[in-house]
Amino acid sequence: MPALRIEKKSGEWKVAPQLRDYEALRESFSWAKAAAEELQGLPGGRGLNIGFEAVDRHALGARSEQCAIRFLQREGGHEDFSYGRLYEATNRFANLLASLGLKKGDRVFGLLGRVPELYVTALGALKAGAVFCPLFSAFGPEPIQTRLSLGEGKLLVTTAALYQKKVAAIRASLPYLKHVILVDAAARPDTIGWREAMSNASPDFVVPPTDPEDLALLHFTSGTTGKPKGALHVHQAILAHHVTGRLALDFRAGDVFWCTADPGWVTGTSYGILSPLSNGVTMVVDAQDFDAQRWYQILEEQRVSVWYTAPTAVRMMMKGGSELSRGRDLSRLRFIASVGEPLNPEAVLWGVEALGLPIHDNWWQTETGGIMIANYAAMDIKPGSMGRPLPGIEAGVVRRREDGSVEVLPDGEPGELALRPGWPSMFRGYLNEEARYRKCFAGNWYLTGDLAKRDTEGYYWFVGRADDMIKSAGHLIGPFEVESALLEHAAVAEAGVIGKPDSTVGEVVKAFVSLKPGYEAGETLKRELLGFARTRLGAAVAPKEIDILPALPRTRSGKILRRLLKARELGLPEGDTSTLEGGA
């Protein structure tokens, strides 16, 4: 499958892509030049503020009446926020924070679904100089308590139902939490009512001086064990959000953009709020959970031109069959991208079949804050590849030496994916864990923990997480390659692969799959799948065992949890399961 290539020709494009000459732009690009040309900065040279770049500069200019966000409601209908309306609402929230005694650097947490109040909270907090931290609304009390405690959350914005179900009982254990605002209830002795508080706040607000290195965002990311890590990002990150939206997602004036990621995750903040707004496009936000028919309807009726989603969602749409797209007018759709985990080659090709466009994979992490490697609109796609580094990003494949230095590996040889530090959205630390942060760097490289290889044309290929790699009889096997091969079988909806200890070869490859509708689990199908994988991969790489499960464990952001499959297979502790789909 990696040998396939989808060639891009200039005549195929409805509008010329933003990044037309990759090598020339890489040669001439600098972050300083991009900041001077593409961002406005606070008036009077008072610094750089994410909220100002995302809202105020548009609201105070020609885009004041343009729709910034269209909120699609669960039962039908929608509510539009122009840039002007968003400006006034975020001003009120920034003034509300000051009236409650919150100061620069204080942490504001949002525990909400995709409702307008969440977006106002995030942007208003950033304008005020507070640090915004999103929480996924499906979290249970324990992960909420952990994150609020570690983050020293001063204020929480949530709903009455979420508060009663998940926060009220733990509030006494949260000494830093001074205020709770309920977006859908009146004030009570222990909470503040959103509507009354916002109506009493002034719609006039001047963004205070903001240093580009001031803290702005706190994103928690789970490790394989232990407590979650809090990645710290600064206001300068908006430069990367802005540039990567334009270059990697091909934003341009007049676009209607839909990012399906929940704002509780870094993608839903970086590319579901900040990047599209800084680029002045119109966002679509859907309050409803995944439904394939509804999604096709949104793409058609909202005239979506750029769509950013996740491999899990793509596979779920594939599961429903391409016939669901038949008869839909998707002529406005120009560019589709995916992130969250590697996009299997079959999904890239399915996009062409069902939507008339390939799906462009890209790669980044919570720690990088923005897209680092991408398949661009103007470039050929090699299905299964992560793409090529963004202008301003220097990547390499390295091996750590015992003395702490690193060796850059030649093309074709797998190793750890590394990035040269210095891009604007690079995390500035792990909250209260300086030693853990320092361990991420060696030899002037940020070491990502992901294993990859680069081909001779500069495309990067995901191999696996460093702790997911399987060593079997001297072979180093990446689980993603095996999973992709299994997904080529007509019966397989999802696949996850682990290494299972073996006294003879060290580890054997074991696969777990879930099936598409119409296929029945059984020994006959297991043998067929094992033979299919052996034919595709060869005996050294193919799985030796396979289990068929109703569904595979995934995070709520869509990643299959291989480490959880392994823990359950071997009877080991499951570690942090707060981000597990369906509850901890």
Residue 225 has pLDDT above 60, yes or no: no
- State how far the alpha carbon of 13 is from the alpha carbons of 83, 332, 489, in Å: 29, 12, 32
The larger pLDDT score, comparing residue 310 to residue 526, is at 526
- Spatial neighbors of 510 by CB under 8 A, at least 6 apart, are 497, 498, 499, 500, 543, 544, 545, 546, 547, 569
pLDDT for res 581: 61
pLDDT for res 502: 81
Q: Tens of pLDDT along 447-500?
A: 999 999 999 999 999 887 777 778 776 556 778 778 888 998 999 999 999 999
What average pLDDT does range 223-243 have in this prediction? 85
Residues forming beta bridges with residue 407, ordered by sequence position: 399
User: How far apart (Å, rounded) are the C-alpha atoms in residues 96 and 35?
Assistant: 31
Residue 12 has pLDDT above 80, yes or no: no
Q: Which two tokens stand for residue 495?
A: 């696949």
Q: Would you place residue 11 in the very low, low, confident or very high pLDDT band (cuts 50, 70, 90)?
A: low
Helix, strand, coil share (%) of the chain residues, nearest 5? 35, 25, 40
Percent of the chain surpassing pLDDT 90: 69
Residue 89 has pLDDT above 50, yes or no: yes
Residue 2 has pLDDT above 80, yes or no: no
48, 39 Cβ separation under 8 angstroms: yes
511-520, 531-540, 566-575 — which one is most confidently predicted on average?
511-520
What average pLDDT does range 30-57 have in this prediction? 97
Q: Lowest mean pLDDT: which of 157-171, 216-230, 347-361, 456-470?
A: 216-230
pLDDT for res 583: 45
Q: Tens of pLDDT along 246-264?
A: 999 999 999 999 999 988 8
Q: Tens of pLDDT along 118-140?
A: 999 999 999 999 999 999 887 77
Residue 516 has pLDDT above 60, yes or no: yes
- State how far the alpha carbon of 193 is from the alpha carbons of 33, 185, 186, 188, 260, in Å: 44, 6, 4, 8, 29
Q: Would you place residue 3 in the very low, low, confident or very high pLDDT band (cuts 50, 70, 90)?
A: very low
3-state secondary structure string, 474-524? CEEECHHHHHHHHHCCCCEEEEEEEEEEECCCEEEEEEEEEECCCCCCCHH
pLDDT for res 473: 66
Q: Tens of pLDDT along 284-315?
A: 999 998 899 999 999 999 999 999 998 878 88
Sign of CA dihedral 90, 92, 98, 99: negative
pLDDT for res 224: 43
Torsion angle of C-alpha atoms 480, 521, 490, 374, degrees rounded to 10: -30
3 state SS of 311? helix
User: How far apart (Å, rounded) are the C-alpha atoms in residues 444 and 136?
Assistant: 34
Average pLDDT taken over every residue of the chain: 90
Main-chain dihedrals φ then ψ at residue 90, nearest 5 degrees: -70, -30
Q: Which two tokens stand for residue 122?
A: 């995030």
- Spatial neighbors of 373 by CB under 8 A, at least 6 apart, are 362, 363, 364, 386, 387, 388, 389, 390, 393, 395, 460
Q: Tens of pLDDT along 202-223?
A: 999 999 999 999 999 999 986 5
- Domains of the chain listed by start with CATH number: 10-454 (3.40.50.12780), 469-570 (3.30.300.30)
pLDDT for res 420: 98
